[in-house]
Amino acid sequence: MQRSPVGTTVLATLIAAFILFPVYWMVVTSLLPTDIVLSRDPPLLPPLSAISLQAYADVFERKPLLTWLVNTLFVTLGSVAVALVISTLAGYSLSRFRTRGQQTAGFVLLLSKMLPPTLIVIPFFIMFTSFGLIDSLFGLMLANAAVGVPFASWLMKGFFDGIPYELEQAAMIDGCSELGAMRRIAVPLCRPGIAASAVYLGIVAWADFVFARTLVSQPANWVLTVGLQSFVGEHSVDWAMLMAAGSLSLIPVVILFLLLEPFLVSGMTHGAVAN
C-alpha cells in the first residue's frame, strides 16, 4: 500500500485546511464589512474587493484594546523572565548535583499537573487580598510565573542533561569556579533550551484566563483574554470587532508556536512532556 508522496501532500494539505478552518474563518470575518459577515449564507471565500480593515480600526477606537495588549505583554514578559531565571538555576542544579531536590522535583511536577487552576486561584485570591496584590498586574505576573516554574525547571534539567558535564569540568581544571563554569559554559550552550522554555512559558502565560479573570477586576488592568470574553457578555456581539481582536491576539502565538514546534517533536522524543 504505497501511496505517492505528492498524493500524501495533497491529502495532508486538505486536512490542514479543515483543521485551520476556525482560525481562517476568524480572520476572514475580521476583514469583511458587517453586511457580508451578518448574512445567513456567508461566502466561504471572501470577495477580495470587499476586504477592509475597518473592524480593526473600530476595535482600537471603541475598545481599550491597546491597554489590554500592553497589559498582556507586561504580564507575559514579566512572568516568563521570572520563571525562566528561577527554572534555569533549578534545572542546572537538578541536572548536575544529586540533592533531595531531585527526589522532590518529580513529585512537585506531578502535583502541579493535578492542581486545578480553579482550586489554586481561591487561596491566591485570599493571599493576594491580604498582601494588597489583588487587582495588580504585578500580582498576576507572579501567579503566572509560579505555575510555570515546575514544568520549566524539568524542561531545563532535560536540556542541561544533554550537555556533557566534561566541558564544565575542563573549565574548572583551567581555574574556573563551579558557578563560573555554569555561567560561561553550560548556560550559553543551553541557549536553544532556554529559548524553547521561554516560548513554552510565553504561550501559557499569554493564554491565561482564570487568574486574570479572578485576581484583577479594574478594566484598566484587564488582559486580552478577559477583554475578549467581555464581548461575549454583551447583548449583541459585534462579531467583526471580536474576530479582529481575536486575530490580533493570535499573531504572537502563531509566531512563537512555529518557532517551538520543531522542538516539540524532538523534545518529546527525549522524554519531556509538554501539556
Contact 167, 180 (CB under 8 A): no
Least Cβ distance, residue 66 to another protein (angstroms): 18
Near another protein in 195-254, by CB under 8 A: 203, 206-207, 209-210, 214, 224-225, 228-229, 231-232, 237, 239, 242-243, 246, 249-250, 253-254
Site stretch for another protein (CB under 8 A), options 51-59, 62-70, 103-111, 189-197: 103-111
By CB neighbour count within 10 A (0-12 exposed, 13-18 middle, 19+ buried), where does 30 fall?
A: buried
Query: Binding string to another protein for residues 7 to 26, with x set by CB under 8 A, is what?
Result: -xx-xxx-xx--xxxxx-xx
Near another protein in 135-174, by CB under 8 A: 142-143, 145-147, 149-150, 153-154, 165, 169
Buried b / exposed e along 144-161 (16+ C-beta atoms within 10 A): bbbbbbbbbbbbbbbbbb
Q: Which of 16, 53 has the CB closer to another protein?
A: 16
Contact 76, 205 (CB under 8 A): yes
The span from the CA of 202 to the CA of 125, in Å, is 23
Q: Does residue 275 bind another protein (CB under 8 A)?
A: yes
Task: Record the cell numbers describing residue 241, joined without a space.
Answer: 470587532
Q: Does residue 189 bind another protein (CB under 8 A)?
A: no
Among 48, 49, 130, 174, binds another protein (CB under 8 A): 130
**How many CB atoms neighbour CB 123 within 10 A?**
9
Site stretch for another protein (CB under 8 A), options 31-39, 57-65, 73-81, 188-196: 31-39
The span from the CA of 204 to the CA of 193, in Å, is 17
Task: Record the cell numbers describing residue 129, joined without a space.
Answer: 487580598
Q: Does residue 39 bind another protein (CB under 8 A)?
A: yes
Q: What is the dihedral of CA 77, 82, 83, 84, to 10 degrees?
A: 80
- Judged by CB under 8 A, the number of residues near another protein is 113
Residue bearing cell 498582556: 72
Q: Which of 50, 126 has the CB closer to another protein?
A: 126
Least Cβ distance, residue 207 to another protein (angstroms): 3
Among 48, 49, 98, 132, binds another protein (CB under 8 A): 98
* Segment holding 274, helix H or strand E: none
